[in-house]
Chains A and B, each alone.
Chain A
């Protein structure tokens, strides 16, 4: 489970543990993701059979995929800080903060679509970096700092919106925003072959984020150092990793991803307003934790975040179509979270016993 014991690039790699570790680890983790995938597909098929409207491309699947792509980025934003053993409770508010700057750029500065997105990402990264810096400088738990940041941004974003706009929302839409919102892969054709109408174009950002983080954690030294910082800060410090800088990096990335999610949510709803990101906190933990990321740090699963979010999205949409009211929906989602984690706990205990017995 604990991925890196020695920092990569170190010369202490003996032959014995290196081949043994992947052999132990791979089937276990592949198992969890596979289970999630089976669950997502199975539930989707089940809902499709019970309610054929579930498979309606335009009305159900397209919005579902759009929601899932946004919330996956939210889950990734949480996952990055979880990887160093921290938390980001301000993930929704950082999204709102980023979206505020994008809206400001479009409304006041008349920026084109990509530049506004860039401004949004810079704002998110800056606020994330500030949070990380406060945490490393003061040594106070990330929970408290991000909670306070949540308070401060909650107030600040609303104040800025009411100071800068008449009805608390930026409504100026740069060219390309409406297309980004409603176009799917079916609108991109390479010769006679067109894409699927259920995959929104908005998902390109999610794919980019997934690939970027997958590369960071899977193939780079910095990614490994982030994980080691989360798994054992003292050991990381002793093996020469600048843990403080890695923590700041994790929070910066989290802010950046949160801002991206805020931008995607704003594109999805069509307006830049203060309420963006209000309901991001629960999905951010649901997606990442169901996907197999540990709260204690040191273990992440990038694909798991996508699958966990997809599972929640499918359950939510399916129950909605089955006529379960909004109120009971929350009850079911809470139960799913607790049940999934209890099952996970049981599996951990069982596999731990197996390991103990085999040694």
Chain B
């Protein structure tokens, strides 16, 4: 049991370390380069505040997608649910006169409930999660349009605006919210039993079921947590944007996948990288900031992010086959590239499952 867990943890740590260090270097170099290119103005207070304020939402939606990915599910409704929740908060405050606190709590609860219902629907009907979230995405887009129509809701409470604007020591509160959510999520996934179960169900559903973990329950849990994180993302978006309309959330879907994929999360489930996802969101924000700095066409951002994701995917594959080749020449078993050299050390790989 111990050897398995140690081996798994070591492999995970090694893998996450390599991806994370690369990303960290990219972030630092990119940030410095951008600062130099802007002759220092990028390091000053206002720029830093803007940079971090609009980083909060990408981080949160990336994490929301990551939670769904870790049980082997996809959540296509990230943008639609976020946009719907943001509009719901805005409409509650501006049109119904609900106090900011109540509206925010209501919005986050609704988002969580939608996630829960999605998860239950997937488990009960056993329809592919991709198609179910495609359906909920369509429904939520319609609901968002129904809430706001063509107008922009901007008459919401000053308290929320202050929250969006507040930045002690040039670090915006919304960004701190995102970081706190990331830290809580990391603690949940790496330390809590429920989080470990989630990963076990994603990594090997059969083994998880045999060791007494209900995969169905994990799928519902993952979608619920995903909904919760999207609710928080909607909160940060509503607080930092000048107003909410039906276009909010329209461009969240692709970044939400890009962040976990660049951050080193496998789409097949069973792996998470909270720090990697946060850093990947950072990288994408840097691309966006660079675009603004050199006043390029906004299309460059999408193009570059696409190329970066493709590059990550291809590069990761090359790295893996490289490792496999090295492991092969050392005389260990050729399959299972990442653990090629750890295999002979394991005494009894199977009996305990992953309990």
A interface residue numbers (CB < 8 A to B): 87, 134, 137-141, 143-145, 147-156, 158-159, 162, 282, 285, 289, 295-296, 325-335, 337-338, 341-342, 345
Contacts and interface: CB of A to CB of B under 8 A. Distances in A.
Contacts of A296: 128
A148 B300 CA distance: 14
Nearest to B304: A155
Interface residues of B, number: 44
B100 interface: no
Given A159-B300, A159-B303, A338-B132, A327 B314 contact: no
A325 B149 CA distance: 10
A138 B254 CA distance: 21
A223 B244 CA distance: 49
Contact of B127 (A162, A282, A327, A342): A342
A148 B309 CA distance: 6
21 contacts: A137-B314, A138-B317, A141-B267, A144-B267, A147-B254, A148-B306, A151-B258, A154-B306, A155-B303, A155-B306, A156-B299, A158-B302, A330-B141, A330-B142, A331-B143, A332-B142, A334-B142, A337-B131, A338-B121, A341-B125, A342-B125
B86 interface: no
Nearest to B77: A334
Nearest to A160: B299
Contacts of B136: 334, 338
A341 B309 contact: no
Given A296-B128, A328-B142, 11 more contacts: A140-B316, A141-B268, A143-B74, A147-B261, A155-B300, A155-B301, A162-B299, A282-B138, A330-B145, A337-B138, A341-B135
Nearest to B310: A148
Interface of B: 74, 121, 125-128, 130-132, 134-143, 145-146, 149, 254, 257-258, 261, 267-268, 297, 299-307, 309-310, 313-314, 316-317
A293 to B, nearest CB: 11
Contacts of A138: 313-314, 317
Contacts of B297: 158-159, 162
Contacts of A151: 254, 258, 302-303, 305-306, 309
A154 B258 CA distance: 14
A295 B130 contact: yes
Contact of A152 (B121, B125, B135, B306): B306
Nearest to A346: B125
A147 B301 CA distance: 15
B144 to A, nearest CB: 8
A335 B143 CA distance: 12
A151 B304 CA distance: 8
B307 A331 contact: no
Contact of A295 (B131, B138, B257): B131
Most buried by B among A147, A150, A328, A334: A334
Closest 6 CB pairs of A and B: A155-B303, A152-B306, A151-B306, A330-B142, A334-B138, A334-B139
Given A152-B302, A333-B138, A341 B127 contact: yes
Contacts of A87: 130
A331 B142 contact: yes
Nearest to A348: B126
B68 to A, nearest CB: 13
Contact of A140 (B74, B143, B313): B313
Given A134-B310, A148-B309, A341-B125, A156 B132 contact: no
Contact of B126 (A148, A338, A345): A345
Most buried by A among B130, B268, B302: B302
B149 A154 contact: no
B303 A147 contact: no
A158 B299 CA distance: 6
Given A138-B314, A338-B132, A159 B142 contact: no
Contacts of B131: 285, 289, 295, 337, 341
B306 A144 contact: no
A337 B135 contact: yes
B125 A335 contact: no
Given A144-B261, A148-B309, A331 B139 contact: yes
A63 B137 CA distance: 26
B146 A147 contact: no
A42 to B, nearest CB: 23
B317 A140 contact: yes
A95 to B, nearest CB: 16
Most buried by A among B254, B307, B310: B310
A334 B121 contact: no
B125 A285 contact: no
Nearest to A159: B299
A158 B141 CA distance: 24
A332 B303 CA distance: 34
Contacts of A335: 135, 139
Contacts of B306: 148-155
A133 B145 CA distance: 39
Nearest to A141: B267
Given A143-B267, A144-B313, A334-B135, A152 B307 contact: yes
B313 A327 contact: no
Nearest to B143: A331
A193 B299 CA distance: 51
Most buried by B among A143, A149, A331, A333: A331
Most buried by B among A148, A156, A337: A148
Contacts of B137: 334
